[in-house]
Amino acid sequence: MKTQTTLNKGKPDGGASDPVMRIRGLGHSYGERRVLEGLDFEVGRGELMCVVGPSGVGKTTLLECLTGLRRPGEGEVVFDGQRIEAPPRGLAIVFQDYSRSLMPWLSVLDNVVLPLRSAGLDKAERERTALEALAEVGLSDFTGHYPWQLSGGMQQRVAIARALAYRPAVVVMDEPFASVDAQTRADLEDLLLRVRDHLGITVLLVTHDIDEAVYLSDRVLALGGKPAGIRELLTVDLPAPREQVSTKALPRFAELRSQVYRLIRDV
Amino acid sequence: MTGAKTEPGVTGTKTEREVTGTKAGRAPTGPKTARSGAVPTGVRRLVNRLLAILVALVVWHLFALGPGASSDFPTPPASFRTAVDLAGTGAYWSNIATSVETALLGLALAVLVGVPVGLLIGADEHARRSTQLLLDFGRTVPAIALLPLFLLLFGATRELGLVLILVSAVWPVIIQTSYAVGEISPQLRRVGRAYHLTRWHLLRYLIAPSMFPFVFVGLRIAATLSLLMAISSEFLGGSDGLGYVLLQAMQINDTGRAFVYSFTAAFLGLLLNLVFVLLQRRVLWWHPSVRKGGAA
């Protein structure tokens, strides 16, 4: 298993060696209201970065700009050397609202298969890929079920499988675990870490939960202010593999946690 | 008929939601919501229903013997005998077939016209707003009021029935279809964009299934109207069918036959409703109004 310390740590200036995404001078306004301003950072290949900030700070706007779902007012997002104008291939999104992101008229398998169908994979290929992804999230026994027959946590795992089956270089997740109970949330966090180690994908995860951000990340991007800018891009030097109880009991975890807390609290 | 947008299940009768239980077969190992004690309540419900029918029959019988006797009001047993006699004739069944055929042809016509028009109107917020008044006007004009005009134009023909059905049944189809377009979830559209679904896959797997529950409600209202207008046009216009034989029976004061024809029309309506309930379970098994098990 790859250890956290061998992964991209990022340079002090917010850059990363071998970046898969570069964000340059990103800003956005809704009419008169300025939401984001002057964001510069890079996401390294294989890195797990969490964007953390208080509710309403503009995390979702940032995510939409990063994924190409929204055209930013200023600056640019470069993905694999290409400036993003629309959601690029090679980038998969896991939305917060899993129940509305899955199609109730399609089975679990068909939900995962659908993007592959459009990608032009033949039947055998797309089923194999989808089944692999479903196995990765532990849903091999539920392929014939419909999303509404599953619990919230399982539905979000379907959404994660759909993202993984898409074979993306980067998975972008928007508060993916915000609507499930605490235990399920911890399970999903560990699932994400496992999958990331196993597949070596890059993950960019937006959350308002500081504990979650510190627990999961290689680096935490703390967002704050009005308009929101980068407070700090913090390297999380916690040992791998992470574990819900022991990692969170480390004094270093508590330090990082308070540090992030102060960063996004101070105005 | 209803003008406001309606989701399936909202207009559905209570019975409809009660019978929707058996679709779990699609997912063999799916979680099953236990409904213990369903059998006794089911039996009691059936008994209550039969009892209600029995009471209605008794009241009818007493009325026929008492106040109705002077106007040849038939008793239930007499009506039953007339019904059996009529059911033995080929004419009875061919009249039913004619009426049903007209209704179905008219419904097909209403769908053929209503769905594309609804799509065009629904696709554009501006078009939706500007046609609102026109649609409200169209659906509130009683088609029967236009009968004299159509009678002049088409005479006592099947075409008359078809036109009448079209001008009454096309409205719910248009209205529900145009609403359906607006009901496609923005979140699912984002999923479609994010995962680069092709145009055809977007239509086939996302847009059409999203719209279908609403269109289906329109279809169901239109079907009821079609049958109603088919029989009405025969009755008032005088072309062959159930409505026409009903008119004939009344003209010669044959209340017994008139009763049987009326009941036949009512049963056709019930049958039509049943067909749609079954159809809904078949095609909308995933919809919250139909599906079994799971919350969100």
pLDDT of residue A22: 92
Which of A64, A100, A105 would you mutate first to test chain B, the one with the most B CBs within 10 A? Answer: A105
Test A118 with B198 for CB contact under 8 angstroms.
Answer: yes
Test A87 with B293 for CB contact under 8 angstroms.
Answer: no
Averaged pLDDT for residues A143-147: 93
Considering just the CA atoms, what is the radius of gyration of chain B in Å?
A: 23
Test A100 with B196 for CB contact under 8 angstroms.
Answer: no
CB A77 within 8 A of CB A68: yes
Task: Kindly identify which residue of chain A lies nearest to residue B188, measuring between CA atoms.
Answer: A101
pLDDT at B9 over 80: no
Express as a percent the part of chain B with pLDDT over 90.
Answer: 37
Average pLDDT of every residue of chain B: 82
Distance CA B278, CA B26 (A): 16
pLDDT of residue B85: 87
Test B201 with A145 for CB contact under 8 angstroms.
Answer: no
Distance CA A261, CA A209 (A): 10
> What pLDDT band is residue A103 in, cutting at 50, 70 and 90?
very high
pLDDT of residue A267: 52
Identify the CATH number of the domain in which residue B182 sits. Answer: 1.10.3720.10
What is the ipTM metric for this complex? Answer: 0.85
Which of A67, A102, A118, A166 would you mutate first to test chain B, the one with the most B CBs within 10 A? Answer: A118
**Residues of chain A with a CB closer than 8 angstroms to some CB in chain B:** 67, 69, 86-87, 89, 92-93, 95, 97, 99-101, 103-107, 114-115, 117-119, 141, 144-150, 152, 155, 162, 166
Least confident of B16-25, B31-40, B273-282: B16-25
> What pLDDT band is residue A266 in, cutting at 50, 70 and 90?
low
In what side-by-side order are the strands of the sheet with A202-207?
A: A91-94, A170-174, A202-207, A48-52, A219-224, A229-235
Verify that B200 and B147 share a domain, yes or no.
yes
Test A148 with B286 for CB contact under 8 angstroms.
Answer: yes
Test A95 with B296 for CB contact under 8 angstroms.
Answer: no
CB A125 within 8 A of CB A156: no
Among B29, B51, B73, the domain-final residue is B73
| Residue of B219, B208, B220, B180 lying closest to B286 (CA atoms) | B208
Give the model confidence (pLDDT) of B106-139 as tens digits.
999 999 999 999 999 988 888 888 888 888 888 8
pLDDT at B30 over 70: no
Verify that B128 and B196 share a domain, yes or no.
yes
pLDDT of residue B23: 40
Test A92 with B195 for CB contact under 8 angstroms.
Answer: yes
Considering just the CA atoms, what is the radius of gyration of chain A in Å?
A: 18
Nearest to B294 among A67, A117, A149 (CB): A149
pLDDT of residue A262: 87
Nearest to B294 among A67, A141, A148 (CB): A148
> What pLDDT band is residue B254 in, cutting at 50, 70 and 90?
confident
Least confident of B184-193, B234-243, B262-271: B234-243
Task: Kindly identify which residue of chain A lies nearest to residue B31, measuring between CA atoms.
Answer: A149
Name residue A80's amino acid: D
Verify that B93 and B137 share a domain, yes or no.
yes
Q: Which domain holds residue B228?
A: 78-283
pLDDT at B61 over 80: yes
From chain B, the residues in CB contact with A100 under 8 A are: 185, 187-188
Among B53, B73, B93, the domain-final residue is B73
pLDDT of residue A3: 40
Give DSSP secondary structure letters for chain A.
---GGGS----TTS--SSEEEEEEEEEEEETTEEEEEEEEEEEETT-EEEEE--TTSSHHHHHHHHHTSS--SEEEEEETTEE-SSPPTTEEEE-S-HHHHS-TTS-HHHHHHHHHHHTT--HHHHHHHHHHHHHHTT-GGGTTS-GGGS-HHHHHHHHHHHHHHT--SEEEEESTTTTS-HHHHHHHHHHHHHHHHHH--EEEEEES-HHHHHHH-SEEEEEETTTBEEEEEEE----SS--HHHHHHSHHHHHHHHHHHHHHH--
Averaged pLDDT for residues A83-98: 89
Distance CA A219, CA B93 (A): 78
Distance CA B214, CA B218 (A): 7
pLDDT of residue B77: 86
In a domain, B51, yes or no: yes
Verify that B231 and B253 share a domain, yes or no.
yes
In what side-by-side order are the strands of the sheet with A74-79?
A: A33-44, A19-30, A74-79, A82-83
pLDDT at A163 over 60: yes
Tell the CATH superfamily of the A4-90+168-265 domain: P-loop containing nucleotide triphosphate hydrolases (3.40.50.300)
Task: Check residue B293 and report its DSSP letter.
Answer: S
* Strand pairing report for A74-79 and A19-30: antiparallel
pLDDT of residue A9: 44
Those residues whose C-beta lies under 8 Å from the C-beta of residue A141, and which sit 6 or more positions away, are B29
pLDDT of residue A13: 55
Q: What are the structural domain ranges in chain A?
A: 4-90+168-265, 105-167
Average pLDDT of every residue of chain A: 87
Tokens for B88? 């033995």
